[in-house]
Amino acid sequence: MNHTKLYYFIFSCFFAVFQIKAQLHTVWTPDNGDGTFTNPILWGDWADPDVMRVGDTFYMVSTSMQYVPGCPILKSKDLVNWEMAGYAVERYNEDPRYDMKGGTLYMNGSWAATIRHHNGKFYVGFCTPNGWGREKGNFSICIADKPEGPWERTIFPEYMYDPGLLFDDDGKVYVVHGQGTLYVTELNADAKSVKGKPVKIWEKRFKNAHEFGGGFGMEGSHAYKINGKYYITCPAGGSHGWQICLRSDNIYGPYEHKLIMNDDHTYPQNGFHQGGMVQLKNGDWWFIIMQDRGGIGRVPNLVPVTWTDGWPMLGDNGRDVITYKKPDTGKKSPIKVPATSDEFNKKTLGLQWQWNHNPENSMWSLTERKGFMRLKAMRADSLLNARNTLTQRVQGPSSTGTVVMDVRGMKDGNIAGFGIWEMPYAYVGIHQNKGKRSIVMCNHGQIIEEIENFTGERIWIRARATDRNFKANLYYSLDGESYHLIGNDLYMKNGLRWTGNRFALFNYSTTEEGIGGYVDFDWFHFIGK
C-alpha cells in the first residue's frame, strides 16, 4: 500500500468513527455505558413490537401501516442497542390506492407484525385491514433467508387480525389472532396457506385489569411453547391498558389467564400495551412492550420477566423499570442507534427513510445530482395526497431536523419544503407562481405566514418537536446560520391513527404545467436529546 492509499485509508477510518460518535451524541440512546439502561429503548414510534433471538442476535419487527418500505426489522446484540436490518415489504401492489390512484390508503398496510425463525428461514406475518375495521381485510406471510431480504410475500384471502405466529415442536404451524374473541388457525407446513378453520379459544372481556364483564377485549396476541405449555400474551384496554397472559396444555385450550403487568407510572394514564418476549442463551427472559406517548408515537420499553408459579410476570414487581441492569448476554455490546442524519451521498436510501405511500421511482433520484436527494413534482392538491413524500420518525423527548433545499429547478405551481407530517401537519416551503417564489408556513392546509419575493437559490428549513404538550415549531434561514421562527405552533396529534409524527421532505405541483419541476435536498441533519 503506497503512502497516498494509506493516508486515505486512515482518514476514511477516522471519518467513519467521527460520524458514528456524532450520531450517538445527537440521538437518544438507552445505554448508560455502565452496565445499565434507561427506558425507553427507542424513543420513537416503533409500534406493536415483536421480538425473537437467532443465535446471539435479537430481531424486532414493528408496525408501519402504509409507509413504504413496510414492516421495519431491527437487530441487536443485547436488546438495548438497536439498528435497522431491513424491511419485510418492499411495496404494496394489491391496491392502486397505495400508488395514490383513486384515493389513498392511510392507516392500512402492515398492522401488528409477528416475527419468527424456523428451519433457517425468517418469517414475518401481519394483517392489513380493509379500511379501519377489525372484521375485514387480509393476512400476509413474508419469508426470507436473512432479514435484509429479499422477502417473498404471500397474501392470504383469510383475515387474521393482530396475528401471533407459532411453530410448534411437532412441526405444526399456528396463528393466534382476533380482537376480543381470539382464534387459533393452523397453517400448512410451509406457512403459505391455511390448513384448518379458525378455532375459537377465548371470548371473555374485561371491565378493567382485574374484572370481567366490560368492553375491553384482548388483541395483539403473541404465542409461545414453553416447557410443554402454550402461552399467549395479549394487551387489553387500549392505550390505558394492561397485559394479560393465557396458559394451557393444549393450543386449543381451555386457557386460564393472569394479569402480568398493569402500570402507567412512567407516562401517567398510558399503560403498557402490546409486545413480545424472548429468552436469552442463559435462560433469562425479557419482554419488549410499547407505551403510547401521544404525538411521538408508541414507544418500546424493555422489562425483565420473572417466572412465578409458571407465569411470566413483567417488570419489577409488576411495574415498569426506568433504569435497570442490562440483559446478561455474556458479552459487552457497543452503543448503537438506528440511523437518522443523511448526507444523500449514496446510491440507495438509508433504512431510516420511508415513503408516505408507494413511491413513483421515476420522480426521485440520488444520482441525477450526486450528493443530493432530488424530488420531482407530481400533481397533487395538498400534502395529504402528494406522492413521494419522504419521511422518518420524530423522536423524544425532543428532536430537531434541518434540511437545505436548492430551488432552482422549480416550476410554476410547485410547492416544496420540509416539516412535520401526520394529521395535522405543518411545513415551511417555497411556492412558485408566475415565475415568482415565496416562503410559506402552512399548518394543516392553512397558510399562516407568507414572505414574498424570495430570490435565493437555497433555503434552510428546520423543525423542532417535543413531547412537552407535543408541540412543534418551524424555522427558516437564508444563510444557514440565522434561523427565524415562522408561523404558529403545531400541536402534534395522531389523526392518521396510531402512527407517530414524522419529519417529511416533499415537492408537489398544484398545476399540470408544474409536473416535473424539481428541488434538490443537500442533506438532512438530526439532533435529539
Alpha helices in 361-515 (DSSP H): none
| Strand ranges (E), 377-443 | 378-379, 390-393, 398-406, 414-421, 426-433, 436-443
Residue 467: active-site member: no
Question: Out of 31, 50, 162, 219, which one is annotated catalytic?
Answer: 219
Going by C-alpha positions, the residue among 444, 442, 401 that lies closest to residue 425 is: 444
Q: How far is CA 462 from CA 465, 473, 474, in A?
A: 10, 8, 6
Identify the CA nearest to 66 among candidates 114, 132, 122: 132
Cα–Cα distance measured from residue 139 to residue 143, given in angstroms and rounded to the nearest whole number? 14
440 contacts 428 by C-beta, under 8 angstroms = yes
Coil, strand or helix: which one is 240? Answer: helix
Dist CA 468 CA 396 (whole Å): 9
CA-based end-to-end distance of the chain: 42
- Say how far apart CA 403 and CA 505 lie, in whole Å: 9
Marked catalytic residue, from 31, 45, 48, 320: 48
Neighbours of 154 (CB within 10 A): 14
Sheet order of strands, 311-314 included: 272-279, 285-292, 298-308, 311-314
Active site residue 48: yes
Distance CA 181, CA 255 (A): 13
Residues marked active site are found at: 48, 219
